[in-house]
Amino acid sequence: MERIKQENIRNFSIIAHIDHGKSTLADRLIEETGMLTSREMQNQVLDNMDLERERGITIKLKAVRLVYKAKDGDEYLLNLIDTPGHVDFTYEVSRSLAACEGAILVVDSTQGIEAQTLANVYLALDQDLEIVPVINKIDLPSARPDEVKKEIEDIIGIDCEDAPLISAKDGLNIGDVLEAIVKHVPAPKGDPKAPLKALIFDSYYDSYKGVVCYVRVFEGTLKPGMEIQMMSTGKTYEVVEVGINTSKHVSVDRLEAGDVGYVTASIKNVKDARVGDTITDNNNPTEEPLPGYKKVVPMVYCGIYPAEGEDFNTVREALEKLQVNDASLVFEPESSAALGFGFRCGFLGLLHMEIVQERLEREFDLNIVTTAPSVIYRITKTTGEVLEIQNPSNLPPETEIASMQEPIVSANIMTPTDHVGAIMELCQNKRGKFLNMEYLEEKRVVLHYELPLNEVIYDFFDALKSKTKGYASLDYELKGYEESELVKLDILINGELVDAFSLIVHKDKAYERGRSIAERLTDVIPRHQFAIPIQAAIGSKIIARETIRALRKDVLAKCYGGDISRKKKLLEKQKEGKKRMRQIGSVEVPQEAFLTVLKYDENK
Amino acid sequence: MKEISIYIHIPFCIRKCYYCDFTSFSNMNDKIPKYMKSLMVELDLYKERLRDYTIKTIFIGGGTPSAIEARYIYDLLGHLYKNFNIFKDLEVTIEVNPGTIDKEKVKIYKEAGINRVSMGVQSFNDSILKSIGRIHNKDQIYESYKLLRDEKFENINMDLMFGLPNQTLEEVLLTLEEAISLGVEHISHYSLILEEGTQFYNLEKKGKLNLPKEDKERLMYHKSTEFLVEKGYNHYEISNYALPNYECRHNLVYWELAPYLGVGLSSHSYMENMRFFNTSNILDYIEKLEGKLLPIEGEEAIDKSTEIEEYCILGIRKINGIDKEEFKKRFNVDIEAIYKDPIDKHTNRGLIIDNGKAIRLTKKGLDLSNLVEVDFLK
């Protein structure tokens, strides 16, 4: 393949709020550049995991290379790098933006700018990217492109005069977007002869090739046969293949400064090719790695247990398979009195946790039970010994504890000014420490708070979304540990302590949390033949009590004449429901109970 | 010779009741002649298969079988008697609704060999009748009942309902008292089931149905049972009561998992280890039979273990429960060998009792029978 010169390369991402049309636009760009025929296009080419499509979010990023013949007669090489769109993956977003020189900002002309968009725009501006605004959905009767343009100019301060007005759905004016990319996104710089610097912005495991790293080469040249070094670990590998992504992997003889592509080097685990790491030439190494590498550590833990009738080893195998592709997932075996043998798993955040759970259920067809998420607490015992605890059941008795510390995050909450009051109330309720408030523009602010992570992982996102109608966005990073008065909250069902429900909470929140969990369990646990007391306790002290009334009637009055299959269907449904139950003493607890008790209560 | 029962479905109604989800129409009267002809053709198609069977009971249900002209029923039954082996002590039931029969009709029913009438009474309270979408009133119940007795029908059932919107315990008992004082031989006393797609179901979803609370509904059931038993009615199935020797033999066939053939729209059959059912589309039904084809829409082979579970699910509904000896005779195995765990579990929980001869529901078990039945499923 004839190489296109560096000045004709454009590396860019698309930034958009959920539903504003990012994936649809990506599809159209791919179609328009003729890389794929319409028939080959599966809808929404970039999001290829079922789960992503269903949730309308992109979880793992990917890159695709387009060849575009511009109006000036030249051929350009456009590398579109996709980004995930959730706070749990902020780091990954920042790394894929770091691989670009520009970003298309897609704004829905019926909605205007939304909080989440802004967070990513600021990430892009941090990386000095050129922002190319695009106004989408202009085919809709409620479109108000002029207002939206003004909004972008006011809020972000970028010129929107020439912003393409498009309908990604109808394929309208997609050519304008391509022209704008060519015109406004700067060409990459970098010397193909300099020592190699390549940024890994994504990696995944392929059973034939080993780990496939998606890279952006900033300096130097990457070729098969070279000995490369991962700069964060110092580990070295021999490059087997380098290539580019069209609709499939196409191997090439080299990747040069400015190029986006992939590299394989018989790497066995994604842990050894971490996102954000710099690849260099082991025989001619660069002095400095690219900035911004962080080793991502799990912040949220929960127990994952095989459900009734599911095998421990099958769950282990599934987790191992997921881990091969997900460097931020960790797990180790543990056991619970209520749930038997299972795994304690660590995640980046709640969404990451939910995604892993869903993948286990869908891709591996497993029935699992999940326990309440927890963070890592630091316990100093009276003996002076320091423990890190992420499973509440492992908390030593109160008398042996000298002090406890919990993780605190610095949180930035971006919001229209209308919701400041509600957010402050929420943060206060979540034991937040207000630092300051910054005006981004007249109607938009960032609130800076310090929040205990265990409050954030409980129901903070849902509460924030609900109290601000989805307009506020949150990002956070770990600040450190602080001393805190924490207690272990236990739940007793029918008099029996269920360790899988135990939580570590701040002492001032224990009563409220205990009551709320007891109430929710009353809703999710089906009525039994007998009344079931649900109690919340700290040590031996009961702090809340609810009762599930006894079931008085479960009988079919009529047998539908000879239609026995109809009656059987009803019974089979009932039986199916029972299968998803976990027997705790004489009480059948639905698996959902372990998670639903943690969801945000709108009425609170 | 083997025994079999026949169910005949008449899907025509004057109006659909608010709780009803059976296959029935109030606007298809022009199809009656063709439908009745199709029924005969369908029966003829089974003639060979039923050669070795004797018909033990016939049940004409609906819909409202009394909503169509009596000669259709007469002709249909005549056709059956002529072409099939008939048990000499045959039970022939027809469902009738008050207000849809007259002297002439009743006479024809008698001549047609019908010897049991099941009246769709539901309640003796006019305002309740109206609120559940019935077209008759209390006076019409008395009139229709008298017509039947005048024509010497000596086995009459009344279908009654409880747990209805705005119904009180007092009203339930008053209705029972009226039925008893008329001297009916059989009472089916059904608790309202909200079926998807019915008017009641939709109203309930909107929160517009004032149903009695669970405890109150159960009190209605318990008090009714007590009252009926006290008046000499034998409680023989969850919802059924009869004076001695007036148990409905046709329904016992279902509960004992004996063979039956259902003809007509959406009717179900069970024979020779097969369960099968007809289409519920009346046009398809008629068209198929015009081409001399069976209008069967689905079928399922019943293997031994399925037969056992169904036998238990149905049998436990009988107040006398599942007879252990009969179980062993039918399946060549002790019931405990298959169901030891559920039997122990529910005995401990007080839902069933094993008296050595039979396994039956306790009083509490009658309220929670589904919990027991679920565990009879494989």
**What residues in A contact B374, CB-CB < 8 Å?**
571, 574-575, 578
**What residues in B contact A571, CB-CB < 8 Å?**
313, 370, 373-374, 377
Residue A480 pairs in a beta bridge with A408
Residue A57, pLDDT score: 38
Residue A61, pLDDT score: 39
pLDDT along chain A (604 residues), means of 10: 81 83 83 58 47 42 80 90 69 87 92 75 87 94 91 86 91 93 95 95 85 94 96 94 82 93 91 90 94 81 85 92 81 88 89 86 87 90 93 90 94 89 94 91 85 88 84 81 94 92 91 91 92 94 95 86 84 83 85 70 55
Residue A452, pLDDT score: 95
Residue A86, pLDDT score: 57
| Interface residues from chain B to A (CB-CB < 8 Å) | 7, 61, 190-193, 214-215, 217-218, 238-239, 254-255, 260, 262, 267-270, 275, 277, 300, 310, 313-314, 317, 349, 351, 364, 366-371, 373-374, 377
How far apart CA A265 and CA A268 sit, in angstroms, is: 9
- Which positions ≥6 away from B311 have C-beta within 8 Å? B256, B257, B322, B327, B330, B331
Residue A398, pLDDT score: 86
**What residues in A contact B269, CB-CB < 8 Å?**
562
CA atoms within 13 A on the CB side of B208: 7
Place of tokens 């899988």: A500
Query: Model confidence over A443-501: pLDDT tens digits?
Result: 778 899 999 998 988 778 888 888 888 778 787 778 899 999 999 999 999 999 998 88
How far apart CA A437 and CA A429 sit, in angstroms, is: 18
- A558 CA: distance to closest CA in chain B (Å): 7
Instruction: Compare CB distances from A529 to B275, B277, B368 and report the shortest one's residue.
Output: B368
Instruction: Compare CB distances from B370 to A556, A563, A565 and report the shortest one's residue.
Output: A556
Domain spanning B304-374: CATH 1.10.10.920: yes
| CATH top class, domain B2-255 | alpha beta
- B369 CA: distance to closest CA in chain A (Å): 5
- Which positions ≥6 away from A85 have C-beta within 8 Å? A16, A18, A22, A57, A58, A93, A116, A120
Residue A85, pLDDT score: 56
Residue A566, pLDDT score: 86
- Which positions ≥6 away from B15 have C-beta within 8 Å? B26, B133, B135
A146: tokens are 């002029």
Query: Are B370 and A552 in contact (CB < 8 Å)?
Result: no
Query: Model confidence over B33-54: pLDDT tens digits?
Result: 999 999 999 999 999 999 999 9
- Which H, E and C letters describe B212-261, residue by residue? CCHHHHHHHHHHHHHHHHHCCCEEEECCEEECCCCCCHHHHHHHCCCCEE
How far apart CA A351 and CA A58 sit, in angstroms, is: 12
Q: Which of A500, A503, A511, A529 is nearest to A590 (CA)?
A: A500
A149: tokens are 């343009």
Residue A602, pLDDT score: 53
**What residues in B contact A551, CB-CB < 8 Å?**
368
- Which positions ≥6 away from A61 have C-beta within 8 Å? A81, A82, A83, A84, A92, A96, A201, A202, A214
Parts of chain B with a pLDDT under 50: none
How far apart CA B357 and CA B345 sit, in angstroms, is: 19
pTM summary value: 0.68
Q: Which of A105, A66, A60 is nearest to A82 (CA)?
A: A60
Burial of A117 (0-12, 13-18, 19+ CB in 10 A): buried
- A555 CA: distance to closest CA in chain B (Å): 5
Amino acid code (one letter) for A154: D
Q: What is the DSSP letter of B203?
A: H
How far apart CA B5 and CA B57 sit, in angstroms, is: 5
* Residue boundaries of the structural domains of chain B: 2-255, 304-374
Residue A55, pLDDT score: 42
Q: Does the model's ipTM exceed the 0.85 cut?
A: yes
Segment A531-537 long-range contacts (CB within 8 Å, at least 24 positions apart): A532/A493, A532/A494, A532/A587, A533/A492, A533/A493, A533/A494, A533/A495, A534/A491, A534/A492, A534/A493, A535/A491, A535/A492, A535/A495, A536/A489, A536/A490, A536/A491, A536/A492, A536/A510, A537/A489, A537/A490, A537/A491, A537/A492, A537/A497
Instruction: Compare CB distances from A555 to B269, B367, B377 and report the shortest one's residue.
Output: B367
Query: Model confidence over A146-203: pLDDT tens digits?
Result: 989 988 888 888 889 889 999 998 889 999 999 999 999 999 999 999 999 999 998 8
In order of A31, A35, A44, the CA distances from A40 in angstroms are: 10, 10, 11
Instruction: Find the residue in A nearest to B364 (Cα).
Output: A552
B301: tokens are 């082979």
Residue A115, pLDDT score: 63
Residue A600, pLDDT score: 60
